[in-house]
């Protein structure tokens, strides 16, 4: 079962109608992809609390502090004090790819950091990149920091790296592949599974806060 988040191309239609029709059902307001006017939602997966956010901010009333989505995120985190928390959205906050860091999503990171979240996933950049656990300023913090993994290697094309950002521990822009996660009650394992014939991979394990 897929639990999606919308990307920038989904809104080329203006309202991401095709995206919501596909995941929620034609014309359905709510469903697996969340409400059509939001596109963000959360669910529990075993011992984990998982949060899907919509980084197409202009389509949902913004992403800044006090915006409807940020207020919802803070409330959702307060209501789900799970030991392990994962969040994901399309555009990365920290990124050594050509688009660079994007402070638009700083309020998300701050709320998640305040709630001791563990892992953030992103795409958008056509690269693979894994960061050390970071605080909201992008400084490595192995005690409370959140690890971000960008996996934009689904098969369309590759993009160049720009300035290598602090905390970038692994990166690749020559290998298509998928990121596999195993979520356990007190830890997570990750593994980049490359396309056949390519040697690059990346794997590891980290305990939840």
- Sign, Cα dihedral of 96, 173, 187, 23: positive
pLDDT tens digits, 24-63: 999 999 999 999 999 999 999 999 999 999 999 999 999 9
Largest CA distance in the chain: 48
- Within 8 A by CB and 6+ apart from 73, the residues are 40, 51, 53, 108, 111, 112
All structural domains of the chain with their residue ranges? 40-175
Q: CB atoms < 10 A from the CB of 188, how many? A: 19
Confidence of residue 1 (pLDDT cuts 50, 70, 90): confident
Residue 139 has pLDDT above 90, yes or no: yes
**Domain 40-175 is of which CATH architecture?**
4-Layer Sandwich (3.60)
Distances (CA, A) of 99 to 93, 96, 124: 10, 8, 9
Confidence of residue 133 (pLDDT cuts 50, 70, 90): very high
Q: What is the mean pLDDT of the chain?
A: 97
Whether 140 and 166 have beta carbons less than 8 Å apart is answered as yes
pLDDT tens digits, 61-89: 999 999 999 999 999 999 998 789 999 99
CA dihedral 3, 5, 7, 13 (to 10 degrees): 90
Distance CA(149)–CA(159), nearest Å, equals 16
């Amino acid at each position: 079962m897929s639990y999606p988040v919308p990307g920038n191309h989904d809104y080329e239609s203006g309202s991401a109608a095709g995206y919501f029709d596909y995941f929620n059902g034609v014309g359905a307001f709510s469903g697996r992809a969340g409400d059509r006017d939001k596109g963000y939602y959360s669910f529990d997966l075993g011992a984990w609390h998982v949060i899907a956010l919509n980084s197409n901010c202009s389509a949902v009333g913004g992403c800044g502090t006090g915006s409807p989505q940020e207020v919802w995120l803070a409330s959702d985190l307060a209501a789900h004090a799970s030991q392990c928390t994962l969040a994901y959205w399309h555009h990365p906050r920290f990124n050594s790819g050509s688009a660079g860091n994007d402070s638009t999503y700083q309020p998300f990171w701050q709320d998640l950091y305040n709630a001791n979240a563990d892992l953030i996933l992103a795409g958008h950049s056509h690269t693979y990149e894994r960061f050390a656990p970071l605080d909201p300023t992008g400084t490595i913090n192995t005690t409370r920091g959140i690890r971000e993994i960008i996996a934009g290697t689904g098969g369309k094309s590759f993009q160049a790296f720009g300035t290598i950002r602090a905390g970038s521990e692994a990166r690749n822009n020559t290998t298509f592949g998928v990121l596999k996660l195993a979520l356990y009650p007190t830890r997570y394992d990750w593994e980049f599974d490359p396309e056949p014939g390519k040697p690059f991979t990346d794997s590891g394990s980290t305990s939840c806060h």
